[in-house]
Every structure is written in C-alpha cells, then in structure tokens.
C-alpha cells in the first residue's frame, strides 16, 4: 500500500483486498511511539479514510514482544514531547475519530500506556497469549493523552479502570478477555491471520450499513442512550428506504444459510469455544 508522505521505516502499510494492515515497525524499541511514528500513523489513517479500496484497518506491532509500549523515552528525555502534542485535538486522535471505518487492534505482546491507548482507539481488540496490558501513567507522572481514561472507562467500567490506572498494574490476555476488553486470545502465529479473517467477515457485509453501524456505535459510546437512539433512527429509516426487498427475497436464503454456517463453526474464527471457556 503506497502512502505518500510516510517518513522513514517506522510504519509498514499493506493492503490485502479491502483490508489495510498498519504495522508499527520499531521492534527493537518495543514499537515506542516516536514523533515520526505518530506522524506516520496519522498520515496512514488519513489515507485509509479517503481510499475507497480500504474497508477495514488492522493495527499491530512488529515482532513478538510488543504491540507498543507508548512514548519513546529517549525523545521524552530530549524534551521532544510538548503539551500541544497531546489530547483529543492532536492530529493522531483526530485521524482516529475521522476514519469512519472499522478498526482492529491485533495486540502482540505488551500494550502499555500510550500503546494501550492506541489499542483502545480501535473498535475491536484481539490479543496474543503473551499480551499484557497496563496503564503506567501514574508511575511515570504524566496524565494520559490519547483518551485512555475515557476509553478504558467505557470498555471495562469505573472500578476496573481505577484498578488499572491508579495502581499501574499489568493484566494478562486471559484477564483482559474475561473483563471484556479483548474479544479473543490466539497463539502468536495465528493472531494476524485471525484478525484478517474477522476483517474479511466485516468486508462481506453491506458497506453502507457497516459504515452507519460504525458511526452509530462510536456516537452512542460517547453519548446517552437517548441521544444514541435518536442518532440511530434516521440511519435505520434511510436504510429501509434504500433497501431492495426484491433482491433480498431471492438472496435471503443464502444470507440465512451463511448465518447458520457461522453458528455451526464458531471455533474457526475464535481461539476458544464456549466449552473451552466454561
């Protein structure tokens, strides 16, 4: 995937079909978020937004040790992270908010502090068995800057958010799954293929409805139930107005058959069946 404006080699971008995979490529530095990498992520997300070929974006880290450990301490020591580079108004946060397409974080190894924040900005989080999650802002002595407290709160509730953010403790992938933070856990070698399989299922859906669902979920996550329902209603009405009932009558049985097939083989796209978890 050729993206004009990328600097250096801190980010790799690959397009397979309609799925773009962005790989943070600083494995020797645990994929720490250098200024260059932050700029490259912003550029890539903006490119994905305007590229009609891209339906889903996967974000992962190079190597097996880390998804990302957050800020680059070498740059911090050099004073290269300034107050105007943090918060929801930063280009990176705005690029995530404006993307308007489903995102999957494939967390391989450590997702710590700023790396944890990146994962939380994605709509779906998958993890390798060796993945660990932590918010160490309180230990470092600087407030989260990419929405961690708010996104984590909405993902796992206030009690567990306080536990993680105030203590700086780590949780493993199994705990993250049990808490509802992670959808599922896979062997390291299977993580990216499983992420792409889930992305393919998303791509198989109706493009317009998928986009409206993504918008509605993100809106509802930041507003009250009443506001979310009011946001959803006109989308539903427009969808029905444009719905091709005649085509569904002829294709509907195929759709239902695909759904039944999916119910019969849940273990193909997940690392653990219901029986294994009980």
Q: CB within 8 A of 159, min separation 6: which ones?
A: none
Range 19-23 average pLDDT: 97
Average pLDDT value for residue range 42-61: 96
Segment 189-205 mean pLDDT? 96
Residue-level pLDDT at 273 = 39
Mean pLDDT of 189-218: 93
pLDDT of residue 8: 87
**Looking at residues 196-211, what average pLDDT do you find?**
93
Percent with pLDDT over 70 in the chain: 83
Higher pLDDT, 80 or 45: 45
Note the residue count of the chain.
278
- The pLDDT of 215-225, averaged and rounded, is 89
Residue 263 pLDDT > 70, yes or no? no
pLDDT at 268 over 70: no
Give me the pLDDT at residue 184, please.
Answer: 96
pTM: 0.86
pLDDT score, position 80: 60
- Specify the pLDDT at position 157: 94
Q: Average pLDDT for residues 89-93, to the nearest whole number?
A: 80
Which residues lie below 8 Å from residue 48, measured CB to CB, with a gap of 6+?
Answer: 20, 22, 54, 57, 99, 101
Residue 6 has what pLDDT? 87
> What is the pLDDT at residue 5?
82
| % of residues, the chain, pLDDT over 90 | 62
Q: How confident is the model at residue 1 (pLDDT cuts 50, 70, 90)?
A: confident
pLDDT confidence band for 127 (50 / 70 / 90): very high
- List the one residue out of 127, 121, 102 whose CA is nearest residue 184: 127
Average pLDDT, the chain: 86
pLDDT at 16 over 90: yes
Confidence (pLDDT) at 278: 33
For residue 267, the model assigns a pLDDT of 45
Comparison of pLDDT for 275 and 154, the residue scoring more:
154
CA nearest to 14, candidates 48, 38, 43: 48
């Amino acid at each position: 995937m050729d993206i004009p404006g990328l600097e250096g080699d801190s980010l790799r971008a690959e397009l397979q079909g309609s799925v773009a995979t962005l790989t943070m490529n600083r494995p020797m530095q645990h994929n720490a978020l250098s200024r260059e990498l932050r700029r490259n992520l912003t550029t890539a997300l903006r490119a994905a937004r305007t590229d009609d070929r891209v339906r889903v974006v996967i974000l992962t880290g190079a190597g097996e040790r880390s998804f990302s450990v957050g800020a680059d301490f070498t740059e911090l020591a050099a004073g290269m992270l300034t107050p105007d580079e943090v918060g929801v108004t930063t280009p990176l946060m705005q690029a995530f908010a404006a993307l308007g397409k489903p995102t999957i974080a494939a967390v391989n190894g450590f997702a710590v502090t700023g790396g944890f924040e990146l994962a939380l900005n994605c709509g779906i989080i998958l993890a390798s068995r060796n993945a660990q999650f932590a918010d160490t802002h309180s230990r470092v002595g600087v407030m989260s800057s990419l929405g961690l407290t708010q996104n984590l709160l909405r993902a796992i509730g206030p009690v567990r958010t306080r536990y993680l953010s105030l203590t700086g403790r780590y949780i493993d992938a199994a705990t993250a799954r049990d808490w509802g933070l992670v959808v599922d856990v896979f062997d390291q070698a299977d993580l990216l293929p499983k992420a792409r399989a889930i992305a393919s299922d998303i791509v198989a859906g109706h493009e317009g409805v998928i986009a409206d669902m993504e918008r509605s979920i993100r809106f509802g996550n930041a507003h009250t139930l009443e506001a979310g329902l009011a946001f959803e209603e006109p989308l539903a009405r427009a969808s029905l107005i444009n719905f091709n009932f005649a085509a569904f009558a002829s294709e509907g049985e195929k759709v239902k058959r695909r759904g039944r097939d999916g119910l019969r083989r849940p273990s193909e796209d997940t690392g653990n069946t219901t029986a294994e978890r009980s």
